[in-house]
């Protein structure tokens, strides 16, 4: 019977090398579970559950609309497909959340480069759907811009975090050049909605990185000028803006979505009892929020909005006392992309914003969008992991109140005043 020889440290060596006592997989999972933001994970899983029910409600409308004489799609065709994508998305999310921060940063940079290269191929060999060329088909069709979103937020956060080491580095021009390249590639597809989303996320990050207020005003003026130029010379933007302002025939799905949303009043018609959704194009993707309004009511729509707000506020509250600039920027950029896309989609369904072709994150049906959004949440979970036994300096809300209201007497001062004769 063989015995394991005990480890004898060399002179001057205090302990055994790391490989002598490897950490077990079970122990690693226990540490991951303690460090994980379980509240955020619960909110995401609950929202995905709502999304599965919503796709089940919208699936008959899209399945019957896309059926032909030779091919008949079942009423729950998109629902069963969505469950498969959700299962795969959950695996991607949990696997990504296990990654350390250094690997998250390196992987996001490599993924950004790969997806930008893929977007360069889209105009050449991309697949065209509904007049837009946004997909690549290599046996499995995917949309590169969807996977670029989370990688872009982390990559730009990494570039801007250089400023903490050397304030003289031109990090803002470098990140602006990267964002400009992506916007140009998106507008060539055309994909105006994602182009605006990327630009807004970059603006949020540079503001958080310390961009002076004067330059922010200049960027705002430049954005308005670019929007005016897009209206004059970019047909996709002009059609959508004209449809939003005056109504049109080519893009009147926004009107149908608004009527569908209001068709169920506060409590809804009930599952599979909606009728307005049957005329709605893209009921299971871009306009699923309207289907929810018709069949489950405006009250449930309000609950979904609260879920998105809770996810955004959960991440931001966790970042309040963060002392790592890269982590702060990356988490903020990721949640800005997530919340911004949800915000725009809901406004489009409410007929308060021009149609942009953006899905409702974690709720709408989709292959690329579901996997990409789960990957984004996985990055958020990985970046926001914290050792629960390490104490951190808590954010002093009373200090902020004192700064905002310097003339207001403190409780101690009021008590002293009351004790005076």
Q: What is the pLDDT along the chain (421 residues), one digit of tens a residue?
A: 445 555 555 555 555 454 444 467 888 888 888 889 999 999 999 999 999 999 999 999 888 888 877 788 888 999 999 999 999 999 999 999 999 989 999 999 999 999 999 999 888 887 777 667 787 877 778 889 899 999 999 999 999 988 877 777 888 889 989 999 999 998 888 788 888 899 999 999 988 887 766 666 676 777 677 777 766 666 666 666 666 666 544 446 777 887 888 877 888 888 888 888 888 888 888 889 999 999 999 999 999 999 999 999 999 998 888 888 899 999 999 999 999 999 999 988 888 877 777 889 999 998 888 999 999 999 999 999 887 766 555 544 454 345 434 444 445 444 554 444 4
Using CA atoms, how far apart are residues 195 and 215, in angstroms rounded to an integer? Answer: 21
Residues 6+ apart with CB under 8 A from 104: 96, 154, 330, 379, 382, 383
The model scores a pTM over 0.85:
no
Return the axis-axis angle of helices 192-208 and 144-161, rounded to nearest 10°.
Answer: 20
Which pLDDT score is estimated for 339? 94
Residue with tokens 């002392």: 323
Structure token digits, residue 374? 């789960």
Other CB atoms within a 10 A radius of the CB of residue 357 amount to: 20
Using CA atoms, how far apart are residues 320 and 362, in angstroms rounded to an integer? Answer: 25
Residue 65 CA, distance from chain mean position: 29
Which pLDDT score is estimated for 138? 78
Which pLDDT score is estimated for 404? 39
Using CA atoms, how far apart are residues 134 and 137, in angstroms rounded to an integer? Answer: 10
Residues 6+ apart with CB under 8 A from 227: 237
CB-CB contact of 300 with 268 (8 Å): yes
Element of type H or E holding 168: none
- Smallest CA-to-CA distance from 148 within 361, 384, 373 is with 373
- Smallest CA-to-CA distance from 340 within 238, 229, 202, 208 is with 202
Burial label, 394 (beta-carbon count in 10 A; 0-12, 13-18, 19+): exposed
3-state secondary structure of 130: coil
Which pLDDT score is estimated for 132? 72
> CA 333 → CA 97, 161, 341, 366, distances in Å?
17, 13, 12, 23
3-state secondary structure of 136: strand
* Peptide bond preceding 238 in cis form (omega within 30 of 0): no
> CA 218 → CA 144, 203, 222, distances in Å?
31, 12, 6
3-state secondary structure of 261: helix
- Smallest CA-to-CA distance from 226 within 237, 216, 217, 215 is with 237
**Strand 127-129 with 132-137, pairing:** antiparallel
β-bridge partners, 136: 142
Write down the H helix ranges in 272-367. 288-296, 298-318, 325-349
């Amino acid at each position: 019977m063989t015995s394991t020889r005990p480890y004898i440290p060399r002179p001057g060596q205090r302990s055994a090398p790391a490989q002598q006592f490897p950490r077990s997989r079970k122990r690693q999972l226990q540490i991951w579970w303690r460090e994980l933001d379980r509240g955020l994970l619960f909110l995401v899983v609950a929202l995905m559950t709502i999304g599965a029910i919503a796709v089940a409600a919208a699936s008959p409308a899209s399945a019957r609309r896309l059926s032909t004489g030779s091919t008949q799609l079942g009423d729950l065709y998109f629902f069963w497909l969505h469950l498969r994508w959700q299962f795969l998305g959950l695996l991607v999310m949990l696997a990504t959340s296990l990654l350390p921060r250094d690997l998250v940063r390196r992987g996001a940079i490599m993924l950004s480069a790969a997806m930008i290269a893929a977007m360069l191929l889209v105009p050449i060999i991309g697949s065209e759907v509904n007049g837009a060329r946004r997909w690549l088909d290599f046996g499995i069709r995917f949309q590169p811009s969807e996977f670029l979103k989370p990688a872009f937020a982390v990559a730009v956060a990494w570039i801007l975090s250089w400023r903490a080491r050397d304030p003289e580095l031109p990090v803002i021009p470098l990140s602006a050049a990267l964002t400009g390249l992506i916007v140009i590639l998106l507008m060539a597809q055309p994909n105006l909605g994602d182009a605006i989303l990327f630009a807004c996320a970059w603006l949020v990050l540079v503001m958080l990185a310390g961009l002076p207020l004067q330059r922010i005003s200049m960027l705002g003026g430049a954005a308005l000028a670019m929007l005016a130029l897009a209206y004059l010379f970019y047909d996709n933007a002009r059609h959508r803006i004209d449809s939003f302002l005056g109504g049109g025939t080519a893009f009147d799905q926004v009107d149908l979505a608004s009527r569908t949303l209001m068709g169920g009043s506060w409590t809804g018609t009930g599952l599979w009892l909606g009728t307005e959704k049957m005329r709605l194009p893209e009921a299971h993707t871009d306009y699923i929020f309207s289907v929810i309004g018709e069949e489950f009511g405006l009250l449930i729509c309000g609950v979904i909005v609260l879920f998105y707000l809770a996810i955004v506020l959960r991440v931001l509250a966790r970042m309040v006392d963060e002392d790592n600039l890269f982590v702060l920027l990356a988490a903020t950029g990721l949640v800005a992309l997530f919340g911004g896309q949800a915000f725009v989609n809901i406004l489009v369904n409410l007929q308060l914003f021009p149609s942009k072709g953006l899905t409702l994150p974690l709720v709408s049906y989709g292959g690329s969008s579901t996997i990409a959004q789960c990957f984004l949440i996985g990055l958020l979970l990985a970046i926001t992991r914290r050792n629960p036994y390490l104490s951190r300096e808590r954010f002093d809300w009373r200090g902020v109140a004192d700064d905002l209201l310097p003339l207001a007497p403190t409780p101690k001062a009021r008590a002293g005043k009351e004790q005076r004769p």
